[in-house]
């Protein structure tokens, strides 16, 4: 009798353990037996119930219909169909911190359907730890650049005569590539980021922030003025500046040149301004102090 009782008790706890799982139901009706670890407004972290010691997965909340927790509680997220974004295992970056898989930002239409969000120039972007004002857009208006809320006067580099340096940061279209070249130059010549204050300031904002190239800076200037500098569009500039101000940032300065990451030669780097009067590009000694803004892709 005692043996039978023990077997019945084991069967009971076995059945309880089997039912003590969370069920994630996606909007495409896919079901995931899981143990939910953490929920944020953007995503859900979970482990597969069949492999509790395995990798942690990330799933955008916009892709979830509902979660039924082990205690029977139901939590609904959306009933609408959205493009599928696969969950991916959580990885670790070189510093050992979790690296969150990016998920597309969604917006809800008047009909209740969730779609990929389209942005406007001068709109505040605040998602996944990146905060700034949209300053450049792709053709589909879903990707582009955001501009940092703050700005600062800094040197491009600290080298003066007779120690002027040609770093190789001459890419006119991609400031992120120029950041890579500066990093390589620092490593190869046993220097530090303090030797390149403008780049260091952008880099210190976190992963993905960089000093824009001259073409990126020119495009930002055009977009700041409503897409063209052939006419005075005060309304566009006001929208841009108000977004910066409302987010606790600083308005763009139209009278002072901003450093780009694109160097011209050993002495000079290219700069641009936000005004409508040409010339829009001027080369300025790298050891002079001019304004700096960082950008980040989204």
Average pLDDT over residues 84-91: 42
More confident residue, 234 or 99: 234
Kindly list the strands in the beta sheet with 57-60, ordered across the sheet, starting from the edge strand earlier in the chain: 74-76, 64-68, 22-26, 31-39, 43-48, 57-60, 88-89
How confident is the model over 205-260, as pLDDT tens digits?
Answer: 999 999 999 999 999 999 999 998 988 999 999 999 999 999 999 999 998 999 99
Q: What is the pTM of this model?
A: 0.65
User: Residue 146's beta-bridge partner residues?
Assistant: 134, 296
SS3 177: helix
b/e burial code for range 68-89 (CB count within 10 A of at least 16 → b): eeeeeeeeebbebebeebebee
120-158 pLDDT, tens digit per residue, is: 999 999 988 999 999 999 888 888 999 999 999 999 999
Q: Who wins on pLDDT, 178 or 21?
A: 178
Domain extents in the chain? 2-106, 145-297
Count Cα neighbours of 44 within 13 Å in the Cβ-side half-sphere.
Answer: 26
Tokens of 1: 């009798």
As a whole-number percent, the residues of the chain with pLDDT over 90 amount to 56
36-45, Cβ contacts within 8 angstroms, sequence gap of 24 or more: 36/67, 36/69, 42/103, 42/127, 42/128, 43/100, 43/101, 43/103, 45/90
Lowest mean pLDDT segment, chosen from 50-54, 86-90, 207-211, 263-267: 86-90
């Amino acid at each position: 009798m005692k043996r039978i009782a023990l077997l019945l008790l084991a069967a009971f706890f076995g059945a309880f353990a089997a039912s003590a799982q969370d069920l994630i139901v996606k909007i495409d009706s896919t079901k995931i037996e899981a143990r939910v670890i953490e929920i944020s407004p953007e995503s859900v972290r979970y482990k597969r119930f069949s492999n509790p010691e395995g990798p942690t997965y990330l799933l955008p909340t916009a892709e979830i219909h509902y979660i039924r927790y082990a205690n029977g509680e139901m939590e609904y997220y959306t009933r609408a169909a959205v493009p599928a974004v696969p969950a991916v295992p959580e990885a670790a970056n070189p510093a050992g911190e979790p690296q969150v898989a990016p998920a597309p930002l969604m917006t809800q239409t008047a009909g209740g359907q969730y779609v990929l969000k389209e942005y406007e120039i001068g709109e505040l972007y605040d998602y996944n730890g990146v905060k700034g004002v949209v300053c450049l857009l792709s053709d589909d208006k879903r990707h582009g650049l955001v501009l940092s809320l703050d700005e600062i006067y800094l040197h491009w580099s600290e080298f003066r005569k007779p120690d002027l340096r040609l770093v190789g940061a001459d890419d006119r279209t991609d400031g992120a590539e120029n950041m890579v070249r500066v990093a390589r130059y620092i490593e190869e010549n046993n220097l530090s980021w303090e030797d390149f204050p403008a780049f260091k300031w952008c880099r210190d904002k976190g992963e993905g922030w960089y000093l824009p190239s001259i073409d990126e800076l020119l495009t930002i200037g055009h977009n700041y003025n409503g897409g063209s500098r052939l006419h005075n569009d005060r309304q566009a500039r006001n929208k841009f500046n108000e977004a910066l101000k409302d987010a606790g940032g600083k308005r763009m300065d139209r009278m002072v040149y901003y450093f780009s990451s694109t160097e011209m030669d050993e002495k000079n780097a290219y700069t641009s301004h936000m005004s409508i009067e040409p010339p829009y590009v001027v080369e300025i000694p790298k050891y002079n102090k001019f304004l700096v803004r960082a950008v980040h892709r989204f």
